[in-house]
Structure 1
């Protein structure tokens, strides 16, 4: 495995991962499971970007296609029409800009506009996706584990022990990127909470997250408002899952996550401020997070 570096290299920014980073979600879809398409227009999306930055987001993640369970695929032209106007303006905000897409045509288009990161739920398994990011000299890449596809992933979720399956998947995908000469400093990994996994498997990934650090790359975790959060909290409405989502984000950071992808930036940033204050007073040698980051750098 490759040792994780203290920074995540992206197109315009080397993101310092010495402290956990908050990635704010900007959905520009009309059918988002979490916000009901509230930011589907370019103007609304840009206002939301600015609001998330005011609340403390370190990275913005723009997505033009819903990947909720059972969601239909969006045609290429429709995704481009949703995403490109937002990216064209958002790159002027001078913050790391991620685009959540699996289509190589979208990847190439947003990178040409100045986007910094490709966040791919398919982990570059679509034809041409690896080549699209390999052609860019420095864009950041997030490889997410997904079982099956968004249309079928929850109708037939994974079986058995999820942790070794995720690690094995990453090994295969990382080998392809290595063969293309992509620098490891550009890569982060996401275990794909909710993507073809049972509630128990999702929480197994959280409970055993330190095992995932053995892959040697920064971990990006996305628990925000997921159905597993609803299942254990009893909160049916996704927008009402703020408190348990923040709890999951803090637990993920405690177990070594470098980036948390969230809808509720202000609340997450505030909770992590409490976590950091506690860590600052913790006796040296007793910090699991410190051990986790050392393991990332020296697996």
Structure 2
């Protein structure tokens, strides 16, 4: 039997690139991270300051932007620092913390996407009752419920991970502390923990996906009953951005977590990269560019900013 030792730190293997490319890749990650932060902060600021955007859908959207900022911030700063310094080590406590918040924020985001699909269902299928059903109290409860679901879904698996003993091996074959990659380093039988992670991932991903599919089934059926061509296009446009983000987010996470173990880890890392960088990067642009009110508010904000700058330059 291998010695069971107290592991003080782990080594994140990440992506193996030639040394001369690491700075270039670090710049790419840093630019992506800064763009994610600035785009989502812009959406949050515009929604909070413009009273015309104080609708249930935009309330959910700025909460989604907050989740995107926190989600990427749980992974990317360490990845960027590893590329810039060459230090791929991460302490035991930092690794467990990163693993917990990655899954907490990810689960909360998927539940929130299901909530947003319900909001679209009410808006399109019951437009006359929309403001009465999606009142401020219900919207707040749905957002809190999204966070609470993520918290409850991840607390038991992370407690079990903390209790696992780790042997001499401390190299995680990933670019962040992924739960499954971390569990595989333990020197005891981890089949129960892996099964629990699989069940929790399946419950969150497939459960919320079922709610989304049901909502969009009713939405599509209602849209096809709209006789006006312009009305049908408007209804489709209000849902298309949400549907694109759902496809990217669910596709990548189902590929990583809701399938049998023993899959290609290199492919898992590429899919995780899509989930942690590409989707959060595209999300604010997809939502803002397909939201006419958002575009109008953004133009107005830019115009006010230019007028303000012009006025001060003249002074």
User: TM-score interval w.r.t. the shorter chain?
Assistant: under 0.3
Considering Cα pairs closer than 8 Å and 6+ residues apart, tell me whether 1 or 2 has the greater RCO.
2
TM-score calculated relative to the size of structure 1: 0.24
